[in-house]
Amino acid sequence: MSGFNRREFIRRGTAGAAGLGLFLNGHPVEAEAAAPPPKPAPPSDRVNVGFIGFGIRANILFESARKTGQANLVEVCDCYQGHLERAKERTGGKIDTNFAQYKKLLDRKDIDAVVIATPDHWHTPLFLDAIAAGKDVYIEKPMTHRIADGQKMIDAAREAKRIVQVGSQWISSSQNRIAKEMIAAGKLGKVTKVMAAYNRNSSAGAWNYPIPPDLKNGVNFNWEEWLGPAPQLPFEAARVFQYRKYWDYSGGITTDLFVHLITSIHYILGSGMPRSVVATGGILARNDGRQVPDTIDALFEYPEGFHVNMASTFNSEGGKTGNGIHFLGTDGSLMLPLGGPSMTHSIDSHREGYSYSIDSWPKALQEKFMNMDDHREEAARTAPPAEEVQARDSADPTTLHMAEFFECVRSRKQCGENAEVGHRAASAGHMVNLSYIAGKKAIWDAISRTAVV
């Protein structure tokens, strides 16, 4: 492995842990600067990559892959010619393009790995075809469109000994890593509750993305190929470029936004599937033809002994504290804003409000009580000021996440967000939708490995 080996990757990861050690020893609360990004590998040592789907997210992944210096970008496949033209622009015309024939891309022997960044309804068939073609796979979250698909994908990757990375990139950030270390070290006591939110308040943020004015089905767009396994319907441009609004192609908020939060919570707390989920929501303001709710709230119960309150609305940004993950423990709390890099660590005082609770007693009895045991000390406890924990990275989380994937492709070591991890996060999101639609609690059945309502 040229320029980027596992030792370098671990060294970069331990930079945050070193900063955490300083913090735990009572020194200034700041993580050490992250190690520099890996040096670009020579073309002969890079991973040859093809992209299936080249819309909004794929363009970001494309640039991140290029930033790693660990990949040769070989071919792009998409159902819209405009996306292929953009791929040519990004590479000065040096990349191969493929209009709506992804199996031709998979047939190429010179492609080692594929990035799947299509609408959700295509994830499972593309994944299985890529694995069958001997490709390693980076697949955007959510890994699945249905819970039942997850185990099939896990089994296929395991049997073929392929490398899989699912694209919830925040778990590759120092912010998530340091939070995990702090909680494991007992800095919050026992975490019993997590509050998480991901709010937006714009039309584009609510997935009303612009539709290309040159779009012509049958000319520069292939509707039949785009639909693929989805129910067959007449062409409708909004379903293509605003697909997250429709159940046929997406799970809405829970599989677009909640899955990011769930993945981080699972990683930081080392948890598995929730025991149950109950959810409520609705279309409260964005009456724009969408089928999925614009507002949803969910309560997750985990067998490890904590609850998660998760919420999202597309009708308010929620202010400075409107987005992020807040871990509440018996000794303190830790707030992770979305995107970092800082976190806020607060220590609870455990102060006892005796003056309030014994004020109805005779004064002499109050004094006698306060002089007993440690009551006076308990009533006088104060908490130290909240502290900011910095978690700097050498690159954005998406670039770090893709760099790990390319390293694992070469080393054949499993990625941090492998198929099992991605399946659990997506399935927890699907449980929210199942509860919302049925109006009942969704319960995880570990034996059948599915959810029932």
Nearest residue to 39 (alpha-carbon basis) of 4, 5, 8, 88: 4
Task: Say whether both 11 and 108 belong to one domain.
Answer: yes
Domain ranges, residue 439: 178-393+424-452
Do residue 226 and residue 296 come from a single domain?
A: yes
**Before 341, cis peptide (omega within 30)?**
yes
CA–CA separation, 438 vs 249, rounded Å?
Answer: 19
CA–CA gap between residue 116 and residue 127 (Å, rounded): 8
Measured between alpha carbons, how far is 227 from 251 in angstroms, rounded to an integer?
16
DSSP assignments along 163-194, one per residue: -EEEE-GGGGSHHHHHHHHHHHTTTTSSEEEE
Q: Is residue 62 part of a domain?
A: yes
pLDDT digits (tens, 9 = 90+) for 14-57: 333 333 332 333 333 444 445 556 789 999 999 999 999 999 99
User: Tokens at residue 345, please?
Assistant: 């660590």
State how far the Cα of 55 lies from the Cα of 80, in Å rounded to an integer: 9
Given a contact cutoff of 8 angstroms between Cβ atoms, the answer to whether 320 and 303 are in contact is no
Please tell me whether residues 78 and 159 are part of one structural domain: yes
Assigned domain for 50 exists: yes
- Burial class of residue 103 (count of CB atoms within 10 Å of its CB; 0-12, 13-18, 19+): exposed
Q: Which two tokens stand for residue 402?
A: 């893709």
> SS3 of 446, please?
coil
Nearest Cα neighbor of 155 from 448, 423, 425 is: 423
Torsion of CA 71, 73, 75, 81, to 10 degrees: 140
Helix axes 147-160, 123-132, angle to 10 degrees: 10
Q: Please check whether residues 226 and 324 belong to one and the same domain.
A: yes
> Which pTM value belongs to this model?
0.91
Are 71 and 22 found together in one domain?
yes
Q: Rounded to an integer, what distance in angstroms lies between the CA atom of residue 170 and that of residue 26?
A: 27
Q: Would strands 276-282 and 450-452 be described as parallel, antiparallel, or unpaired?
A: unpaired
Does one domain contain both 200 and 70? no
Residues 296 and 272 in one domain: yes
Tokens of 387: 């502290």
Same structural domain for residues 200 and 213? yes
Residue 350 lies in a domain: yes
Note the pLDDT of residue 339.
77
Distance separating alpha carbons of residues 242 and 205, to the nearest angstrom: 11
Query: What is the pLDDT at residue 13?
Result: 38
1 found inside a domain? no
State which amino acid sits at residue 48. Answer: N
- Rounded to a whole number of angstroms, the CA Rg of the chain reads 24
Residues 76 and 148 in one domain: yes
For residue 357, the domain's CATH number is 3.30.360.10
Looking up residue 14, the CATH number of its domain turns out to be 3.40.50.720
Write out residues in the chain with pLDDT < 70, as ranges: 1-37, 321
- The pLDDT tens digits for 299-357 are 999 999 999 999 999 999 988 767 999 999 999 999 999 977 889 999 999 999 999 99
Alpha helices, H only, 75-216 = 81-90, 102-106, 123-132, 147-160, 174-184
228 burial level (CB within 10 Å; 0-12, 13-18, 19+): middle
| 383 and 235 assigned to the same domain | yes
Q: How far is CA 141 from the centre of its chain?
A: 7
The string of pLDDT tens digits covering residues 205-217 is 999 999 999 999 9
Domain count within the chain: 2
In a domain, 308, yes or no: yes
In-domain check, residue 142: yes
Residue 37, pLDDT score = 65
234 in the same domain as 103: no
| Chain position carrying tokens 């919420």 | 311
* Alpha carbons 300 and 41: distance in angstroms, whole number: 43
- Residue 397's Cα: distance from chain center in Å? 11
Whether residue 205 is found in the same domain as residue 335: yes
